[in-house]
Amino acid sequence: METLSYETVIDAPMQKVWDILWSPETYSEWTKYFSPGSMMKSDWKVGGKTYFVNTEGEGMVSTIDSLDEPRQVVFKHLGMVDKEGNEDTHSKEVMEWSGCFEKYFLIDFGGKTKLHTEVQVDKQWQDHLDTGFTKGLIVVKSLAEGVNLSSV
């Protein structure tokens, strides 16, 4: 597994950046580079269930390993979910990456917010995640700073 990290400084308070990352209205905007129409459904409980899915409801099932809103959240990926809602957490394919983490840290940076993300991934997915996070964090920054993306 590779650990990839991404970072940006956003001219907005931590809570605003947090809300843009995780509210249903803006989550699908910044994650469209991973999968158009992406949605996240979570009970926001440590040890609970979080689903990262596409428009058909297919995707990953995860849990929150650590949560300190609005400073950090650490997701631990457990497996896949199909469009019928069936979870696969035990197949050979899933066991190769189950337990990987996806981490988000928001740090007060003199009134601005430093957003640092880390994700553990199989090397074959590195380019996809590089594109998704690089472009996605530009969207997060633009939304938080009130910048019109068409002018960027």
Q: Which CATH class is domain 2-145?
A: alpha beta
How much is the pLDDT for 152? 46
How much is the pLDDT for 148? 65
How much is the pLDDT for 96? 85
Whole-angstrom Cα distance, residue 74 to residue 76?
7
Whole-angstrom Cα distance, residue 59 to residue 96?
16
Give the residues of the chain that fall short of pLDDT 50.
151-152
Q: Report pLDDT digits (tens) over 66-87.
A: 999 999 999 999 999 999 999 9
How much is the pLDDT for 115? 98
How much is the pLDDT for 72? 98
